[in-house]
Amino acid sequence: METYRVFYIETKDKLFGYLMRLTGDYQLSSDILQESFTRMLSSYGTGEQNKALLFRIARNALMDSRRKGKQTRDVEDYDLKDDKDPEKEMMVRESYQRVIKAMGHLEELERDILSMSVSSDFSYREIANIVGISEANVRVKIHRARARLKDILKRGGKNDV
């Protein structure tokens, strides 16, 4: 059980970042994070510590949630606690919200793959296995998604494409 706890500690922030980039919803991301670890633990036990499997479980849990039409809340609805420097906290929050909003203009698969690339240390091959496309396709989609995201952010979040 101790090794699973270490796996949880080492993986939870990366998985949460991935989910936040996909959803922009703090509460939904938190719920999916917990559900993913719970599903993995109940299905595979404490012996399974495969990060790619965990991300696939989270991806499926998110799709299930979207099919059920669960309510989402914006990242603005939640406080990011940093009592040391409120001005810095506000700037970080605004930047984060801009990026999340801009990512919302990407195609779902582009957003998924880019989020996975940024949030984890998966190779392109591992991402390809998780999402079920070729490694070459992952490379192209990540490159295009980064270029589109950069363009969207330059235009202030407007997606005229």
10-14, 43-47, 50-54, range with the lowest pLDDT: 43-47
Q: Are 131 and 112 in contact (CB under 8 A)?
A: yes
On whether residue 75 sits in a domain, the answer given is no
Q: What is the pLDDT of residue 118?
A: 87
- Number of structural domains in the chain: 2
Dihedrals φ, ψ of 136, to 5°?
-60, -40
Alpha helices in 24-107 (DSSP H): 26-44, 51-68, 86-103
Determine the structural domain holding residue 108 and report its residue range. Answer: 86-161
Please check whether residues 108 and 62 belong to one and the same domain. Answer: no
| Alpha carbons 69 and 63: distance in angstroms, whole number | 10
On whether residue 80 sits in a domain, the answer given is no
Please check whether residues 135 and 104 belong to one and the same domain. Answer: yes
CATH of the domain at 30: 1.10.1740
Beta-carbon contacts of residue 145 (< 8 Å; ≥ 6 apart) = 106, 110, 111, 113, 114
> Mind listing the pLDDT tens digit for each residue in 75-129?
444 444 445 677 777 777 788 788 888 888 999 899 999 999 988 889 999 999 9
Please check whether residues 102 and 63 belong to one and the same domain. Answer: no
CATH of the domain at 125: 1.10.10.10
| Alpha carbons 152 and 145: distance in angstroms, whole number | 10
pLDDT exceeds cutoff 90 at 29 = yes
Q: What is the pLDDT of residue 78?
A: 44
On whether residue 43 sits in a domain, the answer given is yes
**Domain final residue, candidates 27, 42, 70:** 70
| Alpha carbons 99 and 146: distance in angstroms, whole number | 11
Please check whether residues 161 and 95 belong to one and the same domain. Answer: yes
| Percent of the chain clearing pLDDT 70 (strictly above) | 88
Q: What is the pLDDT of residue 65?
A: 87
Please check whether residues 38 and 106 belong to one and the same domain. Answer: no
Give, for 156, the enclosing helix (H) or strand (E): none
Please check whether residues 62 and 91 belong to one and the same domain. Answer: no
Q: What is the pLDDT of residue 9?
A: 94
Q: What is the pLDDT of residue 161?
A: 45
On whether residue 78 sits in a domain, the answer given is no
Confidence of residue 69 (pLDDT cuts 50, 70, 90): confident
